[in-house]
A and B are shown apart, each in its own frame.
Chain A
Amino acid sequence: MDRDVDVAPPLSESPAHGRTPSAAHSDGSGGPRVAVRVASHALIAGLPVAVLGVVAIVLGPEISAGLDSRAVAAWRTVFTAIVIQGVPFLLLGTLVSAAISAFVPAWVFTRVLPRNPALAVPVAGVAGAVLPGCECASVPVAGSLMRRGVTPAAALAFLLSAPAINPIVLMATYVAFPGNPWMVAARLVASLLTSVVMGWLWLRLGREEWLRAPKGPTGHTAGASRAEEFRVSLQHDFLHAGGFLVVGAAAAATFNVTVPHSVLRLFSDSVWWSLPMLGMLAVVLAVCSEADAFVAASLTGFSPSARLAFMVVGPMVDLKLIALQSGTFGRAFALRFSSATWVVAVLSSALVGWWLL
């Protein structure tokens, strides 16, 4: 199997990389001890790979057959798809956030953003337009903004607006609703409105203790270079957020595979029910914000306002985002903030939909 060949090089050459610094570092108590340590560590690191490789080779066909139950296969495909789709954007987000942590001095933000937090919120909301990508990217960036001393309300407004109003997403919306540019305008206005309102709500009602200060390896190690700091925080943030992305993807895939879409059509007749229904659908489907306009366009039979609600809620609240946020800001925060955002998003899409559509 060629797959094992892919794995082998890092394993076989990495010890050679590592030996020099570590051996030099060791207390010099002799060759045998070092050899034993190398062997034991190589064993610890290599064992899971060897076991998994052997299992995959020997039992591969049987495992595949066992997983071949068609529902399980569909679940695995959707799960894998959400993770794979999310990884590049997550990586982009963690790159930006690590760069902010390591290279951008804190005074930049205090100078760019107005002193008054109530004014900083709308400015940060509009600034969301510059981060291209979907919602996976915005969580780590918002976390690093907070770490850099940006007022949480402004960072949260940025967190909500960035995945919804950036040019890529608005372009996708324009393509998905041909001949209906008002949908693009309504999405922009409703998303911005929601993020600004949520920022102000946080200023008014938010409590410091709900928000676990985003932690990470920011203990500016003495002697560590900027580049080293960048690498460590990139690695930490990516692995951390990646783990939560997996949790969110598993939850979203479960709903995607088990809940038939026809259930939702039951509510398409009622104007009042259809808004919260599509709002809920956006939460459980966890479609990436660059694609949700196409999904919304395919939901024929629902009122334009309900489809708008789907597109406004989707980038701000969904299962994978809740998982990511609880990883970065704590569960107490994620649950409160997400439910409040959901209500505000549905209300503002109702308002904007009634006004524009």
Chain B
Amino acid sequence: MKRNVQVLLLLFTGVGLLHISLLTDLYLRYVRSGLRPALIASGVLLIVLGAVSAARDGFPFNRPRTDDDHGGHHGGGHDHSQGPRIAWLLYIPALTILFLAPPALGSYTAARDEAKAKAPTAGDSLFSALPRSGIVELSLNDFSSRAVWDTDGTLKGHTVRLTGFVTPGRHGTWYVSRLAISCCAADATVRKVRVHGAAAPPADAWVTVTGTWHPTGKVGTDDASPALDATSVKRVPAPKDPYNDAVATRPGR
């Protein structure tokens, strides 16, 4: 890889990283929000490195300043001015994040895996009682854990509201679902709650579902699975951070 192409690649990668982390929130489709400072720092560093290299190597001439070899002008066989050839591959992600940023993971991934409700670690007392009045907003994670493992039945008699995207199931069934990541999209885990009593919106649409718990199976065993009897389904815009399954403000807390 020639030096001027290397400079270009460094600049592209740096600008691409800044584009997804500083100028837009696109990075939230791929990695957790905590990585943002590291991404910005990397972008700045790559741009600085590219700019210094451009100045030193006489961009776009492909002629390093320290190169004393006057004989061959274009340095064809000159080995150490040639960078690694494999680096060409870096153009793929660099241009991808600049021009064709792929979407966040959605129903395709959520449909492929079973949801596993997280079992409580130290007894059922972990489930605090829900506020008595009004609609309770719950994260899919909280709702699933309560629906599967809560033998005290704290969900009974409450109207809850869940937010997530639509994942179609078999035979016209559908789920309100979320993917949660701990580092990047490669480690996404599925959370989904089956919705009864409402027609399925199109796949990947974001919705809030209001309804009551629909018990299935024996609570406290692997038989149970989270489900909801919906009274209303409302389309909502996709959130900025699609993998963040936390309820910002919960009434009564």
Contact = CB atoms under 8 A, between A and B. Distances in A.
A30 interface: no
A77 B102 CA distance: 5
Contact of A80 (B10, B88, B93): B93
Contact of B95 (A52, A253, A286): A52
B87 interface: yes
B143 interface: no
B39 A84 contact: yes
Contact of A287 (B35, B98, B122, B186): B186
Nearest to B53: A235
Contact of A88 (B9, B35, B121): B35
Given A22-B63, A41-B4, A234 B49 contact: yes
Interface in A2-55: 3, 6-7, 10, 14-15, 17-19, 21-22, 25, 37-38, 41-42, 44-45, 49, 52-53
Given A18-B59, A52-B95, A240-B84, A288 B105 contact: no
Given A78-B186, A256-B186, A18 B87 contact: no
Contacts, number: 233
A85 B35 contact: yes
A298 B113 CA distance: 12
B186 A285 contact: yes
B160 interface: no
Interface string A219-252: 1010110001001001110111011101101001
A81 B30 contact: yes
A15 B60 contact: yes
A226 to B, nearest CB: 13
Q: For the complex, would chain B's binding face be called helix, strand, loop or mixed by DSSP majority?
A: helix
A247 B89 contact: yes
Contacts of A88: 35, 38-39, 41-42
A287 B31 CA distance: 12
Contacts of A300: 116, 119
A336 interface: no
Contacts of A105: none
B87 A78 contact: no
B180 to A, nearest CB: 9
Given A7-B98, A25-B58, A291 B182 contact: yes
Contacts of A81: 29-31, 184-186
B178 to A, nearest CB: 14
A291 B183 contact: yes
Interface stretch (B11-19, B151-159, B211-219, B227-235): B11-19
Contact of A37 (B7, B41, B61, B89): B61
Interface string A62-86: 0110010011011011111111110
Nearest to B70: A27
A183 to B, nearest CB: 13
Interface residues of B, number: 86
Interface band, chain A: 35 or more
Contacts of B90: 239, 242-243, 246
A294 interface: yes
B108 A18 contact: no
A295 interface: yes
Contacts of B96: 76, 80
B210 interface: no
B121 A179 contact: yes
* Residue among B11, B46, B59, B189 with the highest chain A CB neighbour number at 10 A: B59
B66 A260 contact: no
A239 B1 contact: yes
Contacts of B31: 81, 84-85
State the 8 A-B residue pairs at the shortest beta-carbon distance, nearest first.
A291-B183, A243-B86, A81-B185, A294-B182, A81-B30, A239-B87, A76-B102, A85-B184
Interface of A: 3, 6-7, 10, 14-15, 17-19, 21-22, 25, 37-38, 41-42, 44-45, 49, 52-53, 56, 60, 63-64, 67, 70-71, 73-74, 76-85, 87-88, 91, 95, 176, 178-179, 217, 219, 221, 223-224, 228, 231, 234-236, 238-240, 242-244, 246-247, 249, 252-253, 256, 260-262, 285-288, 290-292, 294-295, 298, 300, 327
